[in-house]
């Protein structure tokens, strides 16, 4: 008979406590976000509905926390929070170029927005790396260099990460809209002197958001927003995900769809870290497509755990909770065979990157040791978009770079790429020649 240790009793107690309530509340929030969460998502797309000036460690810069109106993949109005940073001083007559940053995975709870961290305007700081100093990623890549160049930087938290509502994690179509509307917010804010020229850049989850935004020409062209007619100069995607590219055709029969769904699940549960991402992904998809049920894929216990942890914990502590409560048995929360696989696969595709030619050049940076976002995703994305006549470059980083080293190693490369786009320099087509 298995010996019952004090640790196993504690772990069992934690697992039971996770299931103790049927409805789970959002975590307590700082005053700015608590007040925003009480507001209704009413107004023009990109309209700033609340702002608060904050201190910044970036020399020659000023910064604000903002909340603005966005919408999701189903065009339902939402509220997103974030940051705006701009140079101090007189802006040029045509206005300053806008750089919209789309961050990587931090979590799906309201308290996972990077703007909530102390000193959120600092250069990108990754928890995973040796010089990381926080439990989450925060900050903005190249922020100091971009301020010196005279750009305005806006960094969305995405909807559901401080502005109320359920965060649609990894629903790139929604996250991309948040990035577009953040640029509208920046352009509309008189204090920062922003113009119309815009570049979106993002990493990981934000990389997917970036290429999704690139293929939303009709959404970008909407009139009656807080700032119409932005001029998109380019999109910089660091290790972007694109689920639609790897599922070009969703089967109509359950057996075939179930096979793909099982393969997708298996690819995302090899360790508890990826498993936490997968659980948030299911939760985010269900938030975007309410007709889906978590119990299609998860056991009853798994659905309750996924809901409680997704609402209350950011990704790294979420993974710790799974590890502590379930050890190496975390996969037991997944059903042996999923139900409703056709609908789930259709939702993954519908929430991903649209098969539409990007409105401006796209450049992708990636590392050969990336195990978080399979490089085949953006390889297939490039082939698909280049076949449509797009200009999509895909640059392999030198050495053996991981998912987490991608932002730092690529930074000097895309800094010059961005400067050239702002300057209007010609760009050779990055699509493969053969």
pLDDT category of residue 316 using cuts at 50, 70 and 90: very high
Q: What is the pLDDT of residue 21?
A: 40
* DSSP letter string, 356-372: S--SS-EEEEE-TT--S
Enter the tokens of residue 138. 């925060």
In this prediction, residue 24 carries a pLDDT of 58
pLDDT tier, 4 (very low <50, low <70, confident <90, very high otherwise): very low
CA angle 210, 216, 221 (to 5 degrees): 120
The 10s digit of each residue's pLDDT in 69-123 is 999 999 999 999 999 999 999 999 999 999 999 999 999 999 999 999 999 999 9
pLDDT digits (tens, 9 = 90+) for 172-227: 999 999 999 999 999 999 999 999 999 999 999 999 999 999 999 999 999 999 99
pLDDT band at 424 (very low <50, low <70, confident <90, very high): very high
Residue 28 and residue 112: Cα distance in Å, rounded? 12
- The answer to whether residue 304 scores a pLDDT higher than 60 is yes
- CB of 98 within 8 A of CB of 187? yes
Alpha-carbon gap, residue 245 to 367, rounded angstroms:
19
Give the phi and the psi of residue 70 in degrees, each rounded to 5.
-135, -170
pLDDT for 154? 98
Structure tokens at 265: 């699940």
pLDDT tens digits, residue range 332-363?
Answer: 999 999 999 999 999 999 999 999 999 999 99
147 with 101: CB under 8 angstroms? no
**Using CB atoms within 10 A of its CB, is residue 270 exposed (0-12), middle (13-18) or buried (19+)?**
exposed
Ranges of CATH 3.40.50.1820 domains, the chain: 40-242+352-423
19: pLDDT strictly greater than 80: no
For residue 159, which of 120, 115, 114, 113 has the smallest C-alpha distance? 113
**Rounded average pLDDT over 361-379:** 97
Q: Does pLDDT of 10 surpass 50? A: no
How confident is the model over 382-406, as pLDDT tens digits? Answer: 999 999 999 999 999 999 999 999 9
Q: Are 259 and 252 in contact (CB under 8 A)?
A: no
In the predicted model, what is the mean pLDDT of the chain?
94
* Max Cα distance, the chain (Å): 78
Count of alpha carbons within 13 angstroms of residue 399, beta-carbon side: 7
pLDDT tens string 230-266: 999 999 999 999 999 999 999 999 999 999 999 999 9
How far is the CA of 389 from the CAs of 213, 241, 359, 420, in angstroms? 17, 21, 11, 21
Specify the CATH number of the domain 40-242+352-423. 3.40.50.1820
Beta strands, E only, 114-175: 152-159
- Please give the Cα distance from 78 to 43 (Å, whole number): 10
Interval 109-121: pLDDT, tens: 999 999 999 999 9
pLDDT number for residue 375: 96
Q: What is the pTM of this model?
A: 0.94
């Amino acid at each position: 008979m298995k010996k019952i240790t004090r640790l196993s009793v504690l772990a069992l107690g934690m697992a039971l406590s996770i299931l103790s309530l049927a409805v789970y509340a959002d975590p307590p929030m700082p005053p700015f976000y608590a007040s925003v969460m009480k507001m209704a998502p009413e107004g023009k797309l990109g309209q700033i509905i609340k702002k608060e000036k904050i201190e910044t460690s970036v020399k020659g810069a000023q910064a604000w926390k903002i909340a603005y109106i966005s919408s999701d993949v189903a065009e339902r109005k939402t509220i997103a929070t974030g940051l705006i940073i701009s140079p101090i001083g007189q802006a040029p007559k045509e206005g300053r170029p806008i750089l919209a940053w789309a961050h990587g995975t931090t979590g799906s709870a309201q308290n996972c927005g990077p703007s909530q961290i102390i000193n959120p305007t600092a250069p990108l700081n990754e928890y995973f790396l040796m010089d990381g100093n926080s439990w989450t990623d925060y900050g903005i890549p190249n922020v100091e260099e971009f301020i010196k160049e005279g750009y305005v930087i806006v960094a969305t938290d995405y909807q559901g990460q401080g502005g109320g509502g359920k965060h649609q994690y990894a629903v790139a179509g929604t996250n991309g809209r948040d990035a577009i509307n953040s640029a509208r917010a920046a352009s509309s804010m008189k204090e920062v002197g922003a113009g119309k020229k815009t570049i979106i850049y993002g990493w990981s989850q934000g990389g997917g958001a970036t290429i999704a935004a690139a293929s939303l020409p009709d959404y970008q062209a909407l009139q009656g927003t807080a700032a119409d007619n932005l001029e998109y100069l380019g999109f910089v995607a660091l290790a972007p995900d694109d689920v639609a590219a790897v599922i070009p055709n969703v089967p109509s029969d359950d057996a075939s769809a179930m096979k793909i769904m099982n393969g997708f699940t298996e690819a995302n549960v090899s360790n508890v870290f990826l498993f936490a991402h997968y659980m948030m992904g299911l939760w985010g998809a269900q938030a975007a497509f309410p007709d889906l049920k978590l119990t299609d894929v998860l056991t009853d216990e798994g659905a309750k755990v996924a809901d409680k942890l997704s609402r209350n914990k950011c990704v790294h502590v979420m993974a710790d909770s799974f590890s502590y409560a379930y050890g190496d048995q975390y996969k037991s929360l997944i059903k042996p065979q999923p139900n409703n696989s056709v609908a789930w696969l259709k939702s993954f595709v519908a929430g991903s990157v649209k098969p539409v030619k990007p409105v401006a050049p796209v450049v992708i940076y990636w590392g050969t040791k990336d195990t978080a976002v399979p490089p085949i995703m953006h390889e297939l994305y490039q082939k698909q978009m280049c076949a449509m006549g797009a200009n999509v470059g895909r640059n392999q980083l030198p050495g053996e770079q991981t998912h987490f080293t991608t932002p730092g190693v690529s930074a000097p490369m895309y800094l010059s790429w961005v400067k050239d786009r702002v300057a209007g320099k010609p760009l050779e087509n990055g699509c493969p020649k053969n």
